[in-house]
Amino acid sequence: MSTLHFSHDNILAFDKRYRANFINSLGGFKSLGLIGTVNTAGQTNLAVFNSFFHLGAHPPLFGFIIRPDSVDRHTLSNIEAIGEFTVNQVTEAFFKKAHQTSARYPQDISEFDATGLTPLFNQASKAPFVQESHIQIAASLAERINLAINGTILMIGKIEAVFLPEDCLGSDGFIDLEKAGTIACSGLDSYHTTSRLARLPYAKPEQPIG
Amino acid sequence: MSTLHFSHDNILAFDKRYRANFINSLGGFKSLGLIGTVNTAGQTNLAVFNSFFHLGAHPPLFGFIIRPDSVDRHTLSNIEAIGEFTVNQVTEAFFKKAHQTSARYPQDISEFDATGLTPLFNQASKAPFVQESHIQIAASLAERINLAINGTILMIGKIEAVFLPEDCLGSDGFIDLEKAGTIACSGLDSYHTTSRLARLPYAKPEQPIG
């Protein structure tokens, strides 16, 4: 199998869409979540994101990236107006609906209505959860950091509440995402189920490998 | 299947290790990469990370999080000293060795030697690649942002060069990570192969779902 080599200049010379596919694929498999928000008029919004990352466990924090020029702009303005949002993991049963939330609907159309996903309100958040989702997180906006390097925005969320199926939570706090039906994505548009190879013990220098 | 509900206060009251497993699992499936670095004395270092995220395609940028109190500290000081590093995707063939790089080896021990992974040097980077890896990225440090909220560090890398198998690159720039053997992870210690459900077309409001 021959190896291809691309330099920075090669990448800059790619066609725009080709480069977007290439660079978005390059980072490996990614998490996938639907962010539910609401504006001050009560209009709901739902948008799919794939840039979530762990930031810390105590306090429980995560980050994700918003591009201000994208359809995510309703998500951004709603989070800033209300201060709360939800993150809902995606399963095989509704990944096509999750993907469809990335279409550029007008602001007065809720992606819940457009896709047929069900908004669920409870006391844990002012924002709607996705009823079809098995793992649901209520979050508050802890910090917004503008990244001058390319105009994107790092949003830091604090985990306010978690809902998950009882049989997916292990005795050590590990959550079995496969059992919960959570899927992964790659690139801009590729969706994947997973199969566990192993959980490995805490690594120590004196411990042999394998 | 009954649903469990945990509040922010419940999570803060968890045992430390339980909370680390819980919150690290909660974000969904994650990318996995070995970061190769070298210090000014030529000592190599290799460390596994799972917080990579896409930041932009033009210029090609990605981010990841370093915890200054972790074994990643050699990675941090080496990247700052040299300005260059590599990111190497992990396959099923060597994921146990990748995990083992998270052990707290003394600074004078290279994780390449300790795990048996092979350093590969070429003109694309001052830092070593992992020869066993099928998708290898040469990166430079574009920016370091200290996150005051919890003392972690956001590192922004610029993609300087990419090496990948020819048969994994599609005509539209999409990289087939499954064909390249790239695996995903979840939590702190769980590793997963994937199986593609579908690639979906660019979503448009007037386009029916499914």
- Determine contact, residues A39/A78, Cβ cutoff 8 Å: yes
Which residue of chain A is at minimal alpha-carbon distance from B28?
A: A31
Average pLDDT over residues A126-155: 97
Average pLDDT over residues B95-113: 94
Q: What ipTM goes with this model?
A: 0.96
Nearest Cβ partner of A199 from B19, B183, B190? B190
| pTM (2 d.p.) | 0.96
What residues of A are in contact with residue B93 (Cβ under 8 Å)? none
**What tens digit of pLDDT does each residue of B179-203 get?**
999 999 999 999 999 999 999 999 9
| Upstream peptide bond of B60 is cis (omega within 30 degrees of 0) | no
pLDDT for the residue B68: 79
pLDDT for the residue A72: 54
Average pLDDT over residues A62-87: 89
Closest CA to A182 of A38, A55, A52, A21: A52
Helical H segments across chain B, by residue range: 8-13, 16-26, 73-82, 95-100, 111-115
pLDDT greater than 60 at residue B97: yes
**What tens digit of pLDDT does each residue of A172-191 get?**
999 999 999 999 999 999 99
């996995």: which residue's tokens?
B32
Nearest Cβ partner of A28 from B24, B89, B142? B89
Mean pLDDT of all residues belonging to chain B: 95
Q: B34 — phi, psi (to 5°)?
A: -95, 125
Tally the residues of chain A.
210
pLDDT greater than 90 at residue B207: no
